[in-house]
Amino acid sequence: MTAEELRSLLTSHDFADLKFIIKDDYLLTSHNESLSSRLEREQISAAKLESAASFANLLTRLVPFIRTIAVTGSVAYGSADKWDDIDLFVVTERNRLWISAFLMLLQVRLYKLLALRAPHLLSFCLSYVHDAEGFSNESRRNRANSLFARELLKAEPVAGMEEYRKILQENNWVSQYYSAPYFKKLEMLGETFDGASRPNRSAGLRGFIVDWTEGIAYEFLSRYLRVRAYIANLKLESEGKNLRTFDPIISSASCVYTSNFYRWLSALWGE
């Protein structure tokens, strides 16, 4: 692709909201990008990551069904703006996603009501949540997706680090794309153990009650999140940010927000 073709692509209607410029055949993020602004983004990202770790530490103590919580997106890459979301990647026990999601949303709401931290440090987004079966199916579908491999590898675990390490080991196909970073990440995670373990599934009457509660939580939250997504997309479209609109892909085993931007990136990486 020539510089002119790239300029034409980035200035087209679909991508006009992306803050890219082309100067001397180089792709730059903005006119005023500097070392100081980069350091500021890294500091903001570090503060958001620390906030997520504190949030996850309490959440996993209260909710026994959560296997692992990691931070993804701009915070994981160290490039977050002040008001960027803190995107959470969560894997729960099988058939325990929606109970966990309800308690996560409740904790987020309490944090905000009590103003336990600055508002920009509480912008948690449950954008990628699965139960164990849901994530297993998702990873199988994406075994040839290098962008999925990168996102999985770049995630910053803040709870259940041993479980996150197991996820990477079970998805060793990631090393086909990023061999050195993959084994370096495993080595780093091998030195950390937070005591998290997979809880035993409840049996008998207690198990029946939990299963029933899971079904009720799914019916209520899935409708609520679809309505919220619809309202958010209307707002984004009114602001001309069509690339940022997203589809809520919701089932009993998964809750994933897939944006047009991510689809575009996937198409580029696939080529």
**What digits encode the pLDDT tens for the residues 16-68?**
666 666 666 666 666 566 667 778 999 999 999 999 999 999 999 999 999 99
pLDDT given at position 269: 77
Residues 81 and 183 in one domain: yes
Does the pLDDT at position 174 exceed 50?
yes
pTM recorded for the entire structure: 0.83
Q: What span, in angstroms and rounded, lies between the C-alpha atoms of 6 and 12?
A: 10
pLDDT category of residue 3 using cuts at 50, 70 and 90 = confident
Residues 139 and 177 in one domain: yes
Same domain, 208 and 249: yes
Q: Are residues 96 and 228 in the same domain?
A: yes
Q: How many domains does the chain have?
A: 2
Bridge partners, residue 88, by sequence: 71
Q: Are residues 150 and 238 in the same domain?
A: yes
Residues 29 and 39 in one domain: no
- Report residue 67: phi and psi, to 5°: -85, -50
What digits encode the pLDDT tens for the residues 91-150? 999 999 999 999 999 999 999 999 889 999 999 999 899 999 999 999 999 998 899 999
The verdict on 44 and 86 lying in the same domain is: yes
Q: Are residues 16 and 40 in the same domain?
A: no
Per-residue model confidence as pLDDT tens digits over 203-223:
577 778 889 999 999 999 999
User: How would you label 114-141 residue by residue, b for 16+ Cβ within 10 Å and e otherwise?
Assistant: eeebeebbbbbebbbbbbbebbbebbee
Per-residue pLDDT band for 2 (boundaries 50, 70, 90) equals confident
Nearest to 112 by CA among 98, 123, 127: 123
Residues with Cβ within 8 Å of 64's Cβ and at least 6 positions away in sequence, in order, are 199
pLDDT of residue 197: 46
Q: Cβ-count burial of 266 within 10 angstroms (0-12 exposed, 13-18 middle, 19+ buried)?
A: middle
Same domain, 21 and 144: no
For 184-193, what is the mean pLDDT?
78
Residues 125, 3, single domain; the answer is: no
The answer to whether 38 and 28 have CB atoms below 8 angstroms apart is no
- Asked if residue 64 and residue 6 are part of one domain, the reply reads no
Question: Is 22 in the same domain as 78?
Answer: no
Instruction: Please tell me the total number of residues recorded for the chain in this structure.
Output: 271
Q: What is the pLDDT of residues 242-263, one digit of tens each?
A: 888 999 999 999 999 999 988 8
Q: Name residue 86's beta-bridge partners.
A: 124
CB 91 within 8 A of CB 67: yes
- Which residues form the domain of 83? 35-270
Angular region, 25: left φ>0, alpha ψ -120 to 50, beta rest: left
Place of tokens 């602004």: 37
